[in-house]
A and B are shown apart, each in its own frame.
Chain A
């Protein structure tokens, strides 16, 4: 008798789970963004639940450094949440290949995104998309408006103007022209090479040609950014070789440096610290009137656990994430993390607004080393860090550096052989 009751109860729950869409369904989100917990709880989730009665959402983040490991073990054990926040490129691709992420290619809402936006969460041939793009970060330069006004400097558009401005700041001597160090290495590659580079290799055109093997890292458009970086060394602060990333942030926010090669993720942090007005300018082009290209790097997406019990509710949520409404909530709560949907979003933060406005003027691309090319050994991304540092310090010539990178890439990447 007792057993019967249990089996009845089990059957009952199974029925509820499968049939009753009207009953409350709870979706759990896995994420590494524990900084955003209050944002999700106070703004995003209530907005969604108000529109979709019957679906409850729980945001359960883990620590960023542990996220990949925790997520993998949860997925293997079958205890992972219904929705999974996706890291860009290979980390998520591995999850898709292992059958943990569902293909979302058929979802109508995916049409709200450009190909560049989707590229971070697609299979190499682009046939399957497995995460909805959430946000990207844009590279450029943040500058101290007060310092520029004081020295009578105009915002530079071309490379010649850029270096003329730096010369003027250096001559005056009251500000360090540019706040960047080479100690932590990644800034040189991320805020240096991949910031100014797209103007040389023409954004997506060059990046895709490199992946296809039609261009080489020794081609002039890939070498030239290193030659430009080599000129940066003279404008960085004293002892920049040992200057760390937080050092650079502090130098700029304390008003000691005039220009900061940036990623837009700095905006909210800087807003809280500076007592001067900040502005931003795009990576300078070589000649006035050239098409400009910006690195609009895809950083966060969200996908569906292939084994979720509530695929319909999960898809409803993902479609909502792809909507302009989500984009406006997310983009305004986290200035500097820009929504990726093609519909423009009205941002309130002036600096974020200025930066996101570049999307209308320039062509977007992502960091050249992130897709496919950093899959082997030697790792192209890590090598690019070292090469960018060496270029700034002047320890090797741009041609030597490019040759080394090309040799490294060709050693394992067939299209480049």
Chain B
């Protein structure tokens, strides 16, 4: 009997990723969670257990802001699910049409905003929608719809939806690319077999392609969920840390930032900030678990 060799190469190959990931992700994550159990009393850091969370959910000053941010976050996510992903799928379906000309051009054009910085996107859209210098009022005027224009980013009732749609504009390329790749991987034979059975055109999409790309849609949904609940940059770039007007665009990310680092005269409170970060982590964890155990395991997969 030969002793099984220790397979060092596995450890060696894993090491760089594990070390880097531990140093920049896992350790900070747990350290943040640890920090949320402390508080600062008279210049000393003391252990307070779950008191920060109690303040966050029990004190009306904090809980009101938290639920407002969470509600806004759900709205932000909902818009992405209802607008970004269907449009992404539709674009992918159109792009994968064999007779479409300039497909590569459209594909790049739609994908380019994804690689732009949030700051550029936020600033560009602020200028486009600006009631003073923007081109949006002029364009609406040209088609006789000037009356529809409003300073959207400055109105409590529209600001969050506007920002969500800007984010959709920026990121619609991602679901499009993923679905596009999934659609291309569907073998011709399957579609031809369907054609023989009389399934063509739109019904081929609904009955053959859609069930086959469902796992990709699931992945996109979960990416959207995680992305949206971690969102911060666009709101911060467009509306600042106070997420105006009147906190109508405040999401968990901006709430956490304001609390952790402080704002204007408000001094930063790393411990309460960590508590909010902990709550965000829990929400995302629950969401991902629901998806993994509730949805993904029940999804039917087809061997192609």
Residues of A within 8 A of B269 (CB): 377
Known: A90-B265, A185-B244, A382-B266. A242 touches B154 (CB 8 A): yes
Residues of B within 8 A of A98 (CB): 43
Looking at B22-30, B123-131, B188-196, B216-224, the stretch in contact with chain A turns out to be B123-131
Question: Contact at A379–B154, with CB atoms within 8 Å?
Answer: no
Give the docked Cα–Cα distance between A386 and B264 (Å).
13
Give the docked Cα–Cα distance between A377 and B276 (Å).
15
Question: Contact at A241–B242, with CB atoms within 8 Å?
Answer: no
Question: Contact at B61–A411, with CB atoms within 8 Å?
Answer: yes
Give the docked Cα–Cα distance between A237 and B132 (Å).
8
Looking at A243-251, A261-269, A278-286, A348-356, the stretch in contact with chain B turns out to be A243-251
Give the docked Cα–Cα distance between A185 and B137 (Å).
23
Known: A251-B132, A382-B242. A183 touches B153 (CB 8 A): yes
Residues of A within 8 A of B207 (CB): none
Interface positions, chain B 48-71, Cβ under 8 Å from A, are: 61-62
Q: Is B151 an interface residue (CB 8 A)?
A: yes
Q: Mark A371-402, 1 if CB is under 8 A from B, else 0.
A: 00011011101100110011001010000000
Question: Contact at A242–B61, with CB atoms within 8 Å?
Answer: no
Number of chain B residues close to chain A: CB under 8 A: 30
Question: Contact at A239–B131, with CB atoms within 8 Å?
Answer: yes
Shortest C-beta distance, A217 to chain B (Å), equals 16
Question: Contact at A238–B131, with CB atoms within 8 Å?
Answer: yes
Known: A185-B240, A382-B265, A395-B156. A242 touches B246 (CB 8 A): no
- Give the residue of A91, A97, A242, A374 whose beta carbon is less than 8 angstroms from that of B130: A242
Residues of A within 8 A of B156 (CB): 395
Q: Is A48 an interface residue (CB 8 A)?
A: no
Question: Contact at A243–B242, with CB atoms within 8 Å?
Answer: no
Residues of B within 8 A of A381 (CB): 264-266
Interface of B is mostly: loop
Q: Is A184 an interface residue (CB 8 A)?
A: yes
Residues of A within 8 A of B43 (CB): 97-98
Residues of A within 8 A of B62 (CB): 377
Counting chain A CB atoms within 10 Å of each CB, which of B156, B247, B263, B266 scores highest?
B266
Residues of B within 8 A of A237 (CB): 131-132
Give the docked Cα–Cα distance between A91 and B267 (Å).
8
Question: Contact at A242–B151, with CB atoms within 8 Å?
Answer: yes
Residues of B within 8 A of A385 (CB): 242
Closest to A183 in B: B154
Closest to A380 in B: B265
Residues of B within 8 A of A143 (CB): none
Q: Is A121 an interface residue (CB 8 A)?
A: no
Q: Is A59 an interface residue (CB 8 A)?
A: no
Q: Mark B127-164, 1 if CB is under 8 A from A, else 0.
A: 00111110001000000000000111111100000000
Known: A239-B154, A242-B131, A243-B151. A395 touches B266 (CB 8 A): no
Give the docked Cα–Cα distance between A250 and B155 (Å).
22
Q: Is B245 an interface residue (CB 8 A)?
A: yes
Closest to A373 in B: B265
Give the docked Cα–Cα distance between A382 and B246 (Å).
11
Question: Contact at B132–A239, with CB atoms within 8 Å?
Answer: yes
Question: Contact at B240–A184, with CB atoms within 8 Å?
Answer: yes
Question: Contact at A244–B126, with CB atoms within 8 Å?
Answer: yes
Known: A241-B155, A386-B242, A390-B246. A379 touches B266 (CB 8 A): yes
Known: A378-B61, A411-B61. A243 touches B244 (CB 8 A): no
Q: Is A370 an interface residue (CB 8 A)?
A: yes
Give the docked Cα–Cα distance between A243 and B133 (Å).
10
Closest to A384 in B: B265
Known: A239-B131, A239-B154. A374 touches B61 (CB 8 A): no
Q: Is A365 an interface residue (CB 8 A)?
A: no
9 closest cross-chain pairs (CB), A and B = A239-B131, A241-B154, A242-B154, A242-B151, A239-B151, A374-B265, A379-B266, A381-B265, A241-B151
Q: Which residues from chain B sit less than 8 Å from chain A, CB to CB? A: 43, 61-62, 126, 129-133, 137, 150-156, 239-240, 242, 244-247, 263-267, 269
Q: List 8 A-B contacts (CB under 8 A).
A: A181-B154, A183-B244, A239-B132, A240-B151, A241-B154, A247-B132, A251-B132, A385-B242
Q: Which residues from chain A sit less than 8 Å from chain B, CB to CB? A: 89-91, 94, 97-98, 181-186, 237-244, 247, 250-251, 369-370, 374-375, 377-379, 381-382, 385-386, 389-390, 393, 395, 408, 411
Beyond the given pairs A239-B150, A379-B266, 19 more chain A to chain B contacts, judged by CB atoms under 8 angstroms and listed by A's residue number, are A90-B265, A186-B264, A237-B131, A237-B132, A239-B132, A239-B154, A240-B131, A241-B153, A241-B154, A242-B129, A243-B131, A243-B132, A244-B126, A369-B265, A377-B61, A377-B62, A379-B265, A381-B264, A382-B263
